[in-house]
């Protein structure tokens, strides 16, 4: 840019050989504090004061930089006429008005505008400065967390990087985080309904209780302020947050409000949305195994209940329970189990008949004694997490079964005793008759 100005000055000197080194004119330029690329009809006022002498046909012409152009033909020149410090009929002071346009391609910086003061007796040069400001733009360039994904019930640090991608410096910027924008909107809507009479029985306390916040700040201050950010400079706003144990596994949206002031004094407010991933882990545990009846008889059915509880931080999908033993293999499908949910897999198992030898069976029945058999049952639990990964565990449980008393033997023995009694009675009766006959 400086080389361009030097070239222009050299060209002017070559075009106007009568330009004097020392100028009797002093100028004061009144320009806007700044102009922006694309501005049109920018008014520039140049006050010219003649300090000594007398000059005829005084005319001012602006030698514009390539980023500036006349707003209309002739708006870069202005005629003041005759000026004198000795002739009271000719004023020693004049005001020239110019209008220029700023190119949309103009970049941030200070630009020197040359003023050529032309008179009949020669020309003089002076200059003033125009400050061009660029666009004021900021961008969230990075969002990161200390853990990814974030487990419900844990603490984490959130870092938001904001970059000044414009060509203007920022005096200050405030980064305000709202980790639960939906919860805030719900409460705001409920309170508005109370004020307008749409909700007449809902209190503020109830509204707050009904709206849960999945993310809670460990530090209550969710605003970060930074000062003096140069173009292309980045700042990082960090927050310590905690995720509720009850938070659902999903992509969680958070609102970020950017409030900043550029060097022109303009305050800009922008709202952005960022996201973090919350993902819990299902954790199924075996809560209990029950058999009904507790000790079944051989040859009867038993209802086996396997109770599970999801103590994890996410739902378990496609839950199924498989039992494997000498009694057979059985499968029970539970489906989806939400967090903190209890559910039971139920099996109906037919106990096999017990094989006993006759003497052993007879002795057990006579002594009213039952035999117990134990069956080892392998219980396997399978389920899937949110990513489709299969998980599971296995435990062994013993199921006891007892033999059923056979009452048939008592009927047989009773019949034999009755026959023996009848036989003995008849024998005694015959003996008694023989004794009477003799």
Tokens 């990964």: give the residue: 389
- Residue 96: strand, helix, or coil: strand
Q: pLDDT at position 2, please? A: 43
pLDDT in tens, 143-191: 999 998 999 999 999 999 999 998 888 999 999 999 998 766 554 454 4
Q: Which residues contact 302 (CB under 8 A, 6 or more apart)?
A: 291, 292, 293, 296, 348, 349, 351, 399, 401
Per-residue model confidence (pLDDT) at position 386:
85
- pLDDT for position 405: 59
Q: Which residues of 403-417 are buried (b: 16+ CB within 10 A; e: fewer)?
A: beeeeeeeeeeeeee
User: In terms of CATH, what superfamily is 2-132?
Assistant: Immunoglobulins (2.60.40.10)
Q: What confidence tens digit (pLDDT) does each residue in 256-299 have?
A: 999 999 988 889 999 999 999 999 999 999 999 999 999 998 88
Confidence bin at 406 (pLDDT 50/70/90): low
- pLDDT, tens only, 40-65: 999 999 999 999 999 999 999 999 99
Is the pLDDT reported for residue 361 higher than 90? Answer: no
Question: 87 or 71, which is more confident?
Answer: 71
- Where does CATH 2.60.40.10 sit in the chain? 2-132, 138-179+214-278, 284-406
Please provide the CATH number assigned to the domain covering 284-406. Answer: 2.60.40.10
* Mean of pLDDT values over 203-218: 59
Q: Which residues pair with 310 in a beta bridge?
A: 284
- Percentage of residues in the chain with pLDDT exceeding 70? 81
> For the whole prediction, is pTM greater than 0.85?
no
- Give residue-wise pLDDT tens across range 112-153: 999 999 999 899 999 999 999 888 899 999 999 999 899 999
How far, in Å, CA of 432 to CA of 415, rounded?
Answer: 26
Q: Which CATH number fits domain 138-179+214-278: 2.60.40.10, 3.40.50.880, 3.20.20.70, 1.10.10.10?
A: 2.60.40.10
Which pLDDT score is estimated for 184?
Answer: 61
Helix pair 358-366, 408-437: axis angle to 10 deg: 80
Six-digit token string for 110: 């200070």
* Mean pLDDT of the chain, nearest integer: 84
- Look at residue 390 in the predicted model and tell me its pLDDT: 94
- Which residue would you say has higher pLDDT here, 236 or 425? 236
Asked, as a colleague might, if the bond just before 251 is cis with ω within 30 of 0, I would say no
């Amino acid at each position: 840019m400086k080389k361009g100005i030097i070239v222009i000055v050299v060209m002017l000197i070559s075009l106007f050989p009568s330009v004097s080194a020392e100028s009797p004119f002093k100028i004061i330029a009144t320009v806007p504090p700044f102009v922006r690329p694309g501005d049109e009809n920018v008014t520039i006022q140049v006050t010219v004061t003649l300090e000594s002498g007398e000059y005829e046909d005084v005319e001012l012409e602006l030698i514009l930089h390539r980023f500036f152009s006349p707003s209309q033909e002739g708006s870069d020149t202005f005629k003041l006429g005759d000026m004198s410090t000795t002739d009271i009929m000719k004023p020693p002071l004049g005001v020239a008005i110019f209008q220029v346009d700023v190119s949309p391609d103009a970049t941030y910086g200070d630009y020197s505008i040359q003023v050529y003061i032309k008179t009949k007796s020669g020309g003089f040069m002076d200059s003033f400065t125009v400050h061009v400001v660029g666009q004021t733009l900021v961008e969230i360039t990075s969002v990161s967390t200390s853990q990814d994904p974030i487990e419900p019930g844990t603490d984490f640090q959130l870092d938001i990087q904001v970059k000044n991608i414009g060509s203007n410096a920022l005096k200050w910027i405030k980064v305000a985080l709202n980790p639960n924008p939906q919860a805030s909107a719900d409460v705001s809507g409920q309170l508005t309904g109370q004020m307008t009479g749409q909700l007449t029985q809902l209190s503020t306390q109830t509204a707050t209780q009904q709206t849960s916040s999945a993310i809670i700040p460990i530090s209550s201050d969710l605003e970060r302020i930074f000062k003096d950010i140069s173009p292309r400079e980045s700042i990082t706003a960090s927050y310590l947050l905690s995720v509720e144990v009850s938070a659902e596994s999903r992509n969680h949206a958070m609102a970020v409000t950017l409030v900043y002031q550029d060097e022109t004094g303009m305050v800009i407010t922008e709202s952005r949305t960022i996201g973090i991933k919350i993902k819990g882990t299902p954790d199924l545990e075996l809560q209990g195994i029950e058999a009904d009846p507790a000790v079944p008889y051989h040859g009867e059915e038993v209802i086996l209940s396997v109770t599970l509880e999801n103590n994890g931080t996410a739902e378990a999908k496609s839950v199924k329970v498989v039992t494997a033993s000498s009694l057979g293999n059985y499968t029970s499908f539970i489906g989806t189990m939400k967090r903190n949910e209890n559910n039971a897999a139920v099996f109906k198992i037919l106990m096999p008949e017990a094989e006993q030898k006759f003497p052993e069976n007879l002795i057990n029945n006579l002594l009213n004694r039952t035999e117990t058999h134990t069956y080892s049952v392998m219980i396997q639990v399978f389920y899937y997490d949110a990513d489709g990964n299969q998980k599971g565990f296995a435990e062994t449980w013993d199921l006891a079964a007892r033999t059923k008393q056979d009452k048939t033997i008592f009927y047989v023995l009773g019949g034999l005793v009755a026959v023996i009694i009848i036989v003995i009675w008849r024998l005694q009766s015959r003996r008694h008759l023989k004794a009477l006959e003799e």
